[in-house]
Structure 1
Amino acid sequence: MDKEILTMEEAAELFGVSVKTFIKLLKEEKVPARKIGREWRFSRKALIDWLSSGDSQSYSLSEVDAKDFFDEVAPKWEELSRSYYGESIKNKLIEMNIFNKDMIVMDLGCGDGYIARGISKLVKKVIAVDISGEMLKELRKKAEKSGITNVETLQTQAEDVPVEDSSVDAVCANMFLHHMEDPEVQIREMYRIVKPGGIAVVSDYVEHSDRELKEKMHDVWMGFNKNEMKKWFMAAGFKGIKTQMVQDARNIGIFIMIANK
């Protein structure tokens, strides 16, 4: 490789690691890089110099900032989220009849369990994953109050979930991908986690221009182009992709995308 300016994938190749491992490195170390728009770029020389210098111990604050934000808003998250999309997404998922009693479902970026608690009666078990311990605490409290016993919580980074490959029947990501620096990495992780024949279910905003929403909800992306999202899923290996729409309280479109492995 003789290019001087590298993409994320090329930088990972230079280091001889997967993109997922390289992103984890970016979060845990001080790696020389610049973000141009929504894309990261790296200097080949700077990366080699950094690697040879042995500099470490610094930690990217982006994940810490997100965790702190969600820890802080956890007690009022239900009220906050209701003011945006209410029960519309959960009701639509139930209406679509895509879950059954034999399923183990993973809910990525579960928050206080909006989806996990909502579908718990329809499935065998829900594994609720979130980076925020306070959010998971709220989930457990609300589940206990409602008599829900089949929701298991897991505090971890959602782009590197410590579970076996092909370990769940369905994986859900509700209003979650717009918080991720690189949604394509998360989609590939979803493909790894779900069993062959299983499904991935993603609900998120279509592209919008509401900057107040972005700032208030600690978003990275201001929604997504549905066609671009579909391409990301296809690139990860998913097929049979279908999309339905709902609206939030301010008439911003929300897509629900279902993809088969």
Structure 2
Amino acid sequence: MEELLQAMRAIAEPTRIRILALCAHSELTVSEIVQILGQSQPRVSRHLRLMVEAGVLQRYQEGTWAWYRLVSRSALVTGKARYSDRVASLAEELIDLIPDDDPVVSRDLERLDNVRRERERQAAEFFASNAEDWDRLRALHVDEAEVDAAVLKAFGDRTINRLLDIGTGTGTVLALLGRIAGSAIGVDLSPQMLSLARTLIDREKLTHCQVRQADMYQLPFDAASFDAASLHMVLHYAEDPVAVLREAARVLAPNGRLVVVDFAPHNVEELRARHAHRWPGIDDKLMQDWFLEAGLEGEPVEKLEGGALTVCLWKAVRPEQAENNHPASVIAGNT
């Protein structure tokens, strides 16, 4: 009862309801909320603090920036006790009760669209500045539509309730699998990549998807938090691929599936020289050995040939009786 009363007290104020509505549509920083509401930063920060303490908003630190989003039942995958399913239900039901034609909220959402357009502009600038390198890389392998179709097929025989995309980059896997997943989180170390991923998530209206800054060697989630995970064109950057796979296995639930997309062995030196690839492709036997070391059961590889680079899809599952001796990582960014 006290938990629900605290949540209702935290929401029962006009500005806080406006903030709640905004954070239900998109992850936002304090400065973006200030810009939309036209109120002072100290006042907005106080509202945010009270709502986070009551568990109706989640706060995530990303470098010097703090991001806020509505607590939702579909996103409660971290095992963090402070975020209650009851409070999440209350917040979601309240959002549904706000009239679509409310003039104040409608104006706020128009200003939110301006924020999104600015994110789109910055994303377009980034893509334009790197277009030549990316186009050259794409020309070396099979069409990306074929890769996407293969990834969907790799997960197609099971229901995805909680997906983790490790090394999410621009968020393309979230956009691809987000429509068939109950909830999804993408992690990356690069703030710029996370910004691009947020832009894509907003554009696709995937409010049940989110991104977080995190290290693939030390994921900020409890053991067995996800029933599916992906590593899409990530492992060739890893100094210690087994450590990455072991961490992925730790956060997978028993019988959870991991899909790794990467290149077969190749002689394209440009990828090491210009794109910082640590591994010039990965041999199938080596990948199966890595799976074994990480406590995963590997499945047959699928190869997509076309061009100088062959794209491989490796699938693995965490065994039902697998022992997880790795301590759960501390949940980061929720303070």
Could you say what secondary structure the match of 1:158 adopts? coil
Determine if the alignment matches structure 1 residue 134 to structure 2 residue 192: yes
Whether the 8 Å contact between 2:154 and 2:259 is mirrored in structure 1 is no
Determine if the alignment matches structure 1 residue 182 to structure 2 residue 240: yes
Letter of the 2:181 counterpart = V
Q: How many angstroms does 1:252 deviate by?
A: 1.3
Residue deviations 1:113-169, cap 9 Å, x none?
111111110111111010111111011112211222121111011110111011100
Could you say what secondary structure the match of 1:124 adopts? strand
Determine if the alignment matches structure 1 residue 152 to structure 2 residue 204: no
Determine if the alignment matches structure 1 residue 257 to structure 2 residue 257: no
Q: Give the alignment partner of residue 192 of structure 1, picking from 234, 246, 250.
A: 250
Q: Which runs of 5+ in 1 are unaligned?
A: 1-70
Q: How many angstroms does 1:90 deviate by?
A: 1.5
Could you say what secondary structure the match of 2:289 adopts? helix
* Counterpart-to-counterpart distance in 2, 1:74 and 1:226: 34
User: Which residue of structure 2 aligns with residue 42 of structure 1?
Assistant: none
Alignment of 1:1-261 (within 5 A): 75=127, 80=134, 82-85=138-141, 86-98=144-156, 102-247=160-305, 250-261=307-318
The structure with more radius of gyration: 2
Letter of the 1:143 counterpart = I
Q: How many angstroms does 1:254 deviate by?
A: 1.4
* Counterpart-to-counterpart distance in 2, 1:226 and 1:244: 10
Shift in alpha-carbon separation, 1:240–1:128, aligned structure 2, 3 A: same
* Counterpart-to-counterpart distance in 2, 1:145 and 1:78: 20
Shift in alpha-carbon separation, 1:223–1:242, aligned structure 2, 3 A: same
Could you say what secondary structure the match of 1:232 adopts? helix
Whether the 8 Å contact between 2:178 and 2:206 is mirrored in structure 1 is yes
* Counterpart-to-counterpart distance in 2, 1:117 and 1:154: 15
* Counterpart-to-counterpart distance in 2, 1:97 and 1:160: 24
Residue deviations 1:158-196, cap 9 Å, x none?
110111011100110011000011101101111101001
Could you say what secondary structure the match of 2:205 adopts? coil
Letter of the 2:156 counterpart = I
Letter of the 1:203 counterpart = V
Whether the 8 Å contact between 1:74 and 1:112 is mirrored in structure 2 is no
Q: TM-score, normalised by structure 2?
A: 0.52
Whether the 8 Å contact between 1:171 and 1:200 is mirrored in structure 2 is yes
Shift in alpha-carbon separation, 1:101–1:144, aligned structure 2, 3 A: farther
- Bigger share in strand: 1
Letter of the 1:252 counterpart = L
Q: How many angstroms does 1:94 deviate by?
A: 1.3
Could you say what secondary structure the match of 2:227 adopts? strand
Q: TM-score, normalised by structure 1?
A: 0.67
* Counterpart-to-counterpart distance in 2, 1:227 and 1:78: 34
Whether the 8 Å contact between 2:292 and 2:298 is mirrored in structure 1 is no
Could you say what secondary structure the match of 2:254 adopts? strand
Could you say what secondary structure the match of 2:244 adopts? helix
User: Which residue of structure 2 aligns with residue 68 of structure 1?
Assistant: none
Whether the 8 Å contact between 2:140 and 2:308 is mirrored in structure 1 is no
* Counterpart-to-counterpart distance in 2, 1:247 and 1:124: 32
* Counterpart-to-counterpart distance in 1, 2:279 and 2:288: 16
